[in-house]
Amino acid sequence: MVLRLTGIRKHYKGAAAVEHVDLTVGRGEFFTLLGPSGSGKTTTLRLIAGFERPDAGIIELDGVDVARTPPFDRNINTVFQDYALFPHMSVADNVAYGLKAKGVRGDACRARVAEALRTVQMTAFGERLPAQLSGGQRQRVGLARAIVNRPGLLLLDEPLGALDLKLRHDMQLELKHIQKEVGITFLYVTHDQEEALSMSSRIAIFNKGRIEQIGTPREIYDRPVSAFVAGFVGTSSLVRRDSSVLVLRPEKVRVAPPGTAMPAGFHVEPGRLEDEIYLGMMTKLVIRLADGTAIEALRPNDGDPADLVSGSPVAVGWDPSTLRVLDETR
Ligand code: ADP
Ligand code: MG
């Protein structure tokens, strides 16, 4: 175990930013804090880094309580969204800065800097100034500077948030590869559920300062414990039946003209096709059931005949074994 938080609480002016947070991160994990803006993710990172003190609770790094350890003595580094590079220093000097502060000099320092720049594919840019780099390149330098000291734990707070969508997707894959290569434990913060699902070994879902669920991406997506998690991670339709709530994922819902045979064991009900939204790879269908419940379905655009007409009756079906049933009291 690299990091253990037990009963962490932090209030600002009487309002809870973080409450009852418990989590454990193992060595080599890519662990993500996922939640909407204001849910307490950054506060949690700042407490771990030592920039803030918790009102209650214990923070352990490698089994040692760090309540009295100042930030610079914790075996941790942080990557921020705004890179925080020194503008008057070359890329190589920016990366070397933390090493020199720890007394690493000469050939040893140059070798470590070269290795870090190679890891982030910035070998050719060592002599440039930060102003001569693109946003994506600056983020790579920020990462090189954070890994060059080989911290036991790297904290990353929405590091890709300032990049455009295409570059962000490329960097997600690359970050994951870099993390594997250097073997450093990552604690990653994002509000982007797709990013969290694609990169993480495990995810903690934050809501209003509390953790609602911790699990692998597949556990979180397939077995959400609450309506909040089901709605925040992926899309889902909630169907209320008696005292329970069913979570239906759109890719698990079949829609067909009335009377079409559905696979054996499927639950089938009548509905009306309200909307068809073309998304390129997929088409999203919105179906209204007789009791007023709206259900979303996704169909791949793989050359299907256009057999459905907006406004017309349809049959909706799903395999009951793929349903998640929530206890409505949560
Ligand atoms: P996130 O990173 O998930 O967006 P934060 O941890 O930044 O959320 O914030 C959690 C809550 O704590 C928010 O309501 C925010 O307004 C509040 N908060 C964070 N930092 C401070 C601060 N320094 N002073 C007062 N309130 C703060
Ligand atoms: Mg934040």
86 Cβ inside 6 Å of ligand 1: no
Q: What angle do CA 4, 202, 152 make, to 5 degrees?
A: 45
DSSP β-bridge partners for residue 327: 244
Angstrom distance (rounded) from CA 85 to CA 138: 8
39 Cβ inside 6 Å of ligand 1: yes
Ligand 1 atom with the smallest distance to the CA of 42 is 2
Q: What is the Cα Rg of the chain in Å?
A: 24
**Amino acid (one-letter) located at 210:** R
190 Cβ inside 6 Å of ligand 1: no
Helices H / strands E in the chain, number of each:
8, 18
Res 242: pLDDT:
79
Q: Give the full edge-to-edge strand order of the sheet including 30-34.
A: 76-79, 153-157, 185-190, 30-34, 202-207, 210-215
Angstrom distance (rounded) from CA 93 to CA 89: 6
Structure tokens belonging to residue 123: 């070998």
Res 327: pLDDT:
73
36 Cβ inside 6 Å of ligand 1: no
CB atoms within 10 A of CB 150: 13
Residue 209 alpha carbon to ligand 1 centre in Å: 9
41 Cβ inside 6 Å of ligand 1: yes
Res 328: pLDDT:
62
pLDDT > 70 fraction of the chain, expressed in percent and rounded:
98
Q: From first to last of its 330 residues, what are the pLDDT tens digits of the chain?
A: 899 999 999 999 989 999 999 999 999 999 999 999 999 999 999 999 999 999 999 999 999 999 999 998 999 999 987 778 999 999 999 999 989 988 999 999 999 999 999 999 999 999 999 999 998 899 999 999 999 999 999 999 999 988 889 989 999 999 999 999 999 999 999 999 999 999 999 999 999 999 999 999 999 999 999 999 999 999 889 888 877 888 999 999 999 999 999 999 999 999 999 999 999 899 999 999 999 999 999 998 887 666 788 899 999 999 998 888 887 655
Res 330: pLDDT:
54
Res 163: pLDDT:
86
Res 235: pLDDT:
87
Ligand 1 pocket, mutate which of 8, 10, 12 (most atoms under 8 A from CB): 12
For the chain, domains (ranges, CATH) are 3-227 (3.40.50.300), 238-326 (2.40.50.140)
Ligand 1 atom with the smallest distance to the CA of 33 is 3
Ligand 1 atom with the smallest distance to the CA of 18 is 10
E-only strand ranges, the chain: 3-12, 15-25, 30-34, 56-61, 64-65, 76-79, 153-157, 185-190, 202-207, 210-215, 237-241, 244-248, 254-256, 267-278, 282-289, 294-300, 313-318, 324-327
Nearest CA to ligand 1 atom 16: 38
